[in-house]
Amino acid sequence: MSIVTDLLAKPGVIAAGEYAYRGDRFSYRGELSENHARVASIMCRATTMSVNMEASMLEALQPLSGLLPPRGWLVHGPGYTVCVVANVFCLLDNRKGSINDLVGFMCQALAAIPSDMI
């Protein structure tokens, strides 16, 4: 099974997808329209690239800081949380799912993904 299929089986996950780091394609499943999923993948990719740039800058200031390479990021809203690890994103309904479980699963499942963003 793909990671997207695994994520959709998790409690509270309403949509999940993957994007190419170079930005030319994405795929998704769940409760989003194609256009909204495209917007989500673009925003997630932009933030991922940004935090990687920031981590590189911090690494230049403080070598072996422990931030680089970043694994992902979360945006926690009052109703939903956006979880991104590597090039995989998902939307979680806060009332129905566990952020700790989701982050733990994603970090473990994607631990072997190369960090060169290709």
Contacts of 16 (CB under 8 A, 6+ apart): 3, 4, 7, 8, 28, 29, 30, 88, 89, 90, 91
Place of tokens 């495209």: 38
63 touching another protein, by CB under 8 A? no
Q: Which two tokens stand for residue 40?
A: 């989500």
Strands 80-85 and 88-93, bridge-based pairing: antiparallel
- Return the number of the residue (20 or 55) whose C-beta is nearest another protein: 55
Region of 1-9, 19-27, 71-79 interacting with another protein (CB under 8 A): 71-79
Nearer to another protein, 9 or 107 (CB): 107
Does 49 engage in binding with another protein (CB under 8 A)? no
Return residues touching another protein (CB under 8 A). Answer: 36, 39-40, 43, 47, 50-51, 54-55, 57-58, 61-62, 65-80, 82, 85, 94, 98-100, 103, 107
